[in-house]
């Protein structure tokens, strides 16, 4: 019950936040969220939510998905709200990719935006040819992102901790510079990206919903929701598998992991490639949605933004990623006066979270391999 209440409440809260126009409304809503959180802890409501989640996770996941679709349909006429929802969802998907690397395996990747951008540029280049079905272009975006990350595997496997992180920073900067000087890829001006197309349906068109006029972003919001659900499910299964256990073991103690037969190298390679694949796929859909991309959209700052989603939400915690992606994407849009200071705001937020709640806003829970059954082993 408590769990369902939270899911429905979150849906309503998301609606209110998207509809809020005035600064005082947004600030009021944020204050409300803060107070509700504190009250939930004081009254023990949080415990009940956690228990519900442990008992009926698959049902609550389905409910959350239904609420998300409901929210999208309710806002079907609003360009801005749907663009926001889609962006939050795509950043959330990207953060799941990063979470496999960072949250599970402990590989810090400061080039997230580069792999996200690689997906978007793949969509631009392949979409212009009109030879490949756009659904395959999404996958191609992921594969290209994965492929350009191959050279990074050498330092990732050979070094640990900060050294690998520094290499990814260099890669991100290199990627952006490469885009800027490359004339075929549009140089600093960037490229147009063709819209997503399913057989018989171009996402450029606004769907007609029972006679109501809707925004063409409805297409993207629904597709992003579906993709998010799919990646979320795979992410959960990965966490709750032997591979996920190996990733945890590698993150927490490489030496001990190796002494128990875990291949540290293979585990890191898998996590890094899988993460970049997800980043690339989400980037490809993002590019199709915003229809115009430039190197300036995929900078080091954007990589930091992705990392801060992972840190804010909690390492390895997908629900934390939903909350953090909402904060990171929506707040600067809603509080225009913060727009210029948004990186300052996020840095402060990350520092505060790391100081007072180092495990993130919604910390990851212990592994439950098969939540849909009682485990009385």
Partner 1 sequence: MSEPLLEFRNVVKRFGGVTALDDFSMTLAPREILGLIGPNGSGKTTSFNVLTGIYGPSAGQVMFEGRDITGADPRAVYEAGIVRTFQRSRLCLSLSIYDNIMIGDTARLTRGLWSNLISRRGLEKQLDMTRRTARDLVATFSAELADRMDAPVGSLPMIERRRIEICRALISGPRLLLLDEPSAGMTHDETHQLMDDILAVRARGEGLSIIIVEHEMGVIERITDRCIVLSYGRKIAEGTYAEVAADSEVQNAYLGAD
Which residues of the shown chain bind partner 1 in the complex (CB under 8 A)?
A: 234, 237-238, 241-243, 245-246, 248-249, 252-253, 255-263, 270, 366-367, 369-370, 375, 377
Which residue, 1 or 366, has its beta carbon nearer to partner 1?
366
Q: Where are the alpha helices (DSSP H) in the chain?
A: 2-19, 23-42, 45-55, 57-74, 79-99, 112-129, 134-148, 153-158, 162-181, 217-239, 242-252, 254-259, 264-290, 300-313, 318-334, 342-356
CB of 151 to partner 1, least distance (A): 23
CB of 72 to partner 1, least distance (A): 27
Which residue, 131 or 259, has its beta carbon nearer to partner 1?
259
| N residues, the chain | 377
Cβ distance 368 to 54 under 8 Å? Answer: yes
Which residue, 189 or 263, has its beta carbon nearer to partner 1?
263
The structure tokens listed for 106 are 């402990």
CB of 97 to partner 1, least distance (A): 15
Q: How remote is the C-alpha of 117 from its chain's centroid?
A: 14
CB of 82 to partner 1, least distance (A): 31
Cβ distance 57 to 371 under 8 Å? Answer: yes
CB of 274 to partner 1, least distance (A): 9
Q: Whole-angstrom Cα distance, residue 160 to residue 174?
A: 21
CB of 340 to partner 1, least distance (A): 38
Which residue, 263 or 347, has its beta carbon nearer to partner 1?
263
Which residue, 143 or 262, has its beta carbon nearer to partner 1?
262
Concatenated DSSP letters of 185-204: TTGGG-EE-PPPEETTEETT
Mark 40-77 as b/e (b = at least 16 C-beta within 10 Å).
Answer: beeeebeebbeebbeebeeebbebbbebbbebbeebbe
CB of 374 to partner 1, least distance (A): 12
Which residue, 210 or 242, has its beta carbon nearer to partner 1?
242
Q: Whole-angstrom Cα distance, residue 121 to residue 119?
A: 6
Cβ distance 106 to 244 under 8 Å? Answer: no
Which residue, 220 or 232, has its beta carbon nearer to partner 1?
232
Which residue, 57 or 333, has its beta carbon nearer to partner 1?
57
CB of 124 to partner 1, least distance (A): 30
- Taking the CA of residue 152 as centre, how many other CA atoms within 13 Å lie in the half-sphere pointing to its CB? 33
């Amino acid at each position: 019950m408590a769990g369902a209440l939270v899911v429905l409440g979150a849906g309503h809260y998301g609606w209110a936040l998207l509809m809020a126009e005035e600064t005082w409304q947004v600030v009021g809503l944020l204050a409300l969220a803060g107070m509700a959180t504190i009250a939930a802890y004081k009254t023990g409501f949080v415990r009940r939510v956690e228990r519900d989640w442990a008992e009926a996770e698959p049902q609550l996941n389905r409910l959350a998905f239904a609420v998300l679709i409901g929210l999208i349909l309710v806002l079907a006429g609003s360009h801005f709200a749907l663009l926001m929802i889609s962006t939050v969802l795509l950043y959330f998907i990207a953060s799941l990719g990063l979470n496999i690397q960072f949250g599970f395996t402990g590989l810090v990747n400061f080039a997230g935006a580069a792999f996200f951008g690689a997906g978007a540029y793949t969509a631009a280049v392949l979409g212009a040819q009109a030879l490949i079905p756009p659904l395959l272009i999404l996958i191609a975006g992921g594969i290209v992102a994965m492929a350009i990350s191959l050279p990074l595997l050498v330092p990732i496997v050979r070094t640990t901790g900060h050294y690998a992180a520094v290499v990814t920073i260099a890669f991100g900067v290199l990627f952006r510079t490469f885009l800027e000087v490359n004339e075929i890829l549009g140089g600093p001006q960037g490229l147009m990206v063709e819209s997503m197309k399913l057989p018989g349906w171009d996402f450029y068109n606004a769907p007609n919903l029972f006679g109501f006029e809707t925004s063409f972003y409805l297409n993207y919001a629904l597709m992003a929701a579906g993709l998010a659900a799919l990646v979320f499910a795979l992410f959960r299964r990965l966490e709750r598998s032997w591979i996920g256990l190996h990733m945890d073991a590698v993150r927490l103690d490489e030496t001990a992991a190796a002494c128990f037969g875990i291949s540290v190298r293979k585990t890191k390679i898998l996590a890094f490639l899988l993460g970049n694949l997800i980043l690339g796929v989400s980037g490809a859909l993002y590019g199709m949605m915003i229809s115009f991309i430039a190197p300036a959209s995929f900078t080091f700052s954007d990589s930091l933004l992705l990392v801060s989603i992972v840190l804010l939400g909690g390492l390895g915690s997908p629900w934390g990623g939903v909350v953090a992606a909402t904060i990171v994407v929506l707040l600067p849009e809603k509080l225009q006066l913060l727009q210029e200071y948004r990186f300052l705001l996020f840095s402060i937020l990350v520092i505060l979270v790391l100081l007072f709640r180092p495990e993130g806003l919604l910390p990851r829970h212990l592994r439950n391999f098969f939540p849909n059954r009682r485990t009385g082993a």
